[in-house]
Copies of this chain bind each other. A is one copy, B any other.
Amino acid sequence: MRDMTETTPVELLVCTTCRRGLPVEDDAQRPGALLHKALEQAGLPDGVTLKPVECLSNCDQGCSIVLRGGPTRWTFVYENLTETEHVETIVDGATKYLAAEDGLVKWRERPEHFRKNCAARIPPIGALK
């Protein structure tokens, strides 16, 4: 188990085009880009790769992130995140996700915001018959 969690890459995708329902001037940084920037400086664990993406199509409940990690892990989409309130939450949740072979962190161990703001989870590729 240890080998698998150490070698299977985990990606943290952040929607950088998210406006979080706010009016944003063309030349202003969007909330999604600010969240991405805050996570760049947040000290994510080795093994979690932060990647910007354009639109996760969850605009009404942004900002949104995805945690995914190879063919063995469930994929999770989390929503209603802000760069001022939830950076620590995301680091905590990503760290636990990295440590879980199948990506399923025990319910009571998940950050509260993750428990209440999961947009969707998707089973691992190849897990279904």
Contact = CB atoms under 8 A, between A and B. Distances in A.
B13 A122 contact: yes
Given A77-B77, A122-B56, A128 B51 contact: yes
What's the number of copies of this chain in the assembled complex? 2
B125 A57 contact: no
Looking at chain A's contact residues, the main secondary structure is strand
Contacts of A89: none
Interface residues of A, number: 23
Contacts of A99: none
Contact of A58 (B11, B56, B75, B120): B120
A100 interface: no
A106 B20 CA distance: 24
**Which 3 pairs show the lowest CB-CB distances between chains A and B?**
A57-B121, A77-B120, A51-B128
